[in-house]
Amino acid sequence: MTASPDINAERLWADIMTMGAIGATEGGGSFRPALSDADREGRNLFRYWAQEAGLTVTVDEIGNMFARREGEDPSLPPLMIGSHLDTQMPGGKFDGVLGVLAGLAVVRSLNAGGIATRRAIEIVNFTNEEGARFQPGIMGSSVFAGLSRLDEALSRKDDEGTLLGDELVRIGYAGSRPVGGRPVHKYLELHIEQGPEMEAAGVTIAAVSNSSWGCSGFIDIKGENGHSQTAPMSKRRNALVAAAQLIIEIEAIGAENEPDGMVSATVIRNWPNNRVNIPHLTKLSYVVVHATEPGRASIISRIESAVKRIADETGLSIHNANSHYRQRLDLSSELCGQVLEAAADRGYPSMTLPTLTSHDALSMTQICPTAIIFVPCKGGISHSEKEWCEPYQVAAGARVLLDMTLKIANEL
């Protein structure tokens, strides 16, 4: 591979820490859920940095931001690089942010070296990847790739009943550019692994080969209201008690499937949710992931059996439904090989890995060849204030991204 300009690793690290200070938490993480005031500040900062680097920034109708560096041939579809700037509630400094700001670091390197590319390069910040405030996640990339409808996304509500579309307007990021409908040459996403495999193997770079099988589950438990201080214990039909039993059962099923599969109850909602009333309605949600389709089916079947048994034991009405099925996707084997080649050229130990989690790149596989480049995260911890990636790992991932960009952005 031809010699290339280097990444300004100090500037990239400073950018990540500066972005992390927007919505900073006492635990060292960031609280920047989609379309919050903090998300607006993060978007504004990215826009400023992108324009400072000479990029043209546009926003589409779902709020996706595109920072474009023109190529020598405007008729060629662009290379896209990106991820997201929104966080969990709270989250860490690296999840998503690394992919967006490393893309900016790549463009700065090209600018510093006076290097033009045949194709335009667009750095994208996709809206609401996390799905923490508005569900489902991977929203902006899903609408961009034509996998979900714009009107449905804009009509999503958070727990306070606020419309996503209204919040886009409020924070000033309801763009006018149509969503998607244009060709993309290839898409690259740099991301922390969000797991422990790379750290355990002592590697610096991983090329993602495929995604896993997943789905979401939703359980409704119906009991009966009653006074918590007077209703006889033998007569109580407490929906929350059945929920507690199911939470334990689901956790045990997940533990027995590790490391190939996992499941935990992650959301509980309870009515009327006051101290002096027996709960008459409790809702649970869980997320299933497994390396194989039969493994996913087995987890779902075991949860169904637990639901039936606990319904019979308690006499309560319990209903379970599964949706948001995620099938395995294979990423571009050609790009996967190029990631490993770029890592080897830089002297970085590398490996291939599947991804257990969703990423915007999985949406983009529907419209163009896609690669995900992983760098390690300490202890495999993510979606946490303790999420951490060492500066040298950040720089290594950005350098591989730079080398990939130089190769792909000059393809015919």
Which sequence spans correspond to the domains of the chain?
9-211+328-408, 213-326
Residue 394 contacts by C-beta under 8 Å, 6 or more apart in sequence?
9, 12, 13, 16, 94, 98, 102, 375
Torsions phi, psi for 179 (to 5 deg)? -85, 125
Question: Helices (H) and strands (E) in the chain — how many of each?
Answer: 12, 12
pLDDT tens per residue across span 227-281:
999 999 999 999 999 999 999 999 999 999 999 999 999 999 999 999 999 999 9
Prior bond to 183 cis, omega within 30? no
Structure tokens at 339: 């990631």
- Indicate the fold that domain 213-326 takes in CATH: Alpha-Beta Plaits (3.30.70)
| pTM for the full predicted model | 0.93
Distance CA 132, CA 30 (A): 13
Given this model, what pLDDT does residue 1 score? 40
Distance CA 68, CA 121 (A): 6
Does the domain formed by 9-211+328-408 have CATH 3.40.630.10?
Answer: yes
User: How large is the C-alpha radius of gyration of the chain?
Assistant: 23
Measuring CA to CA, how many Å separate 275 from each of 154, 210, 239, 270, 272? 36, 47, 14, 12, 9
Residue at 82: amino acid letter = G
CA dihedral 376, 382, 385, 388 (to 10 degrees): 0
Residues of the chain where predicted confidence (pLDDT) is lower than 70: 1-4
Given this model, what pLDDT does residue 4 score? 62
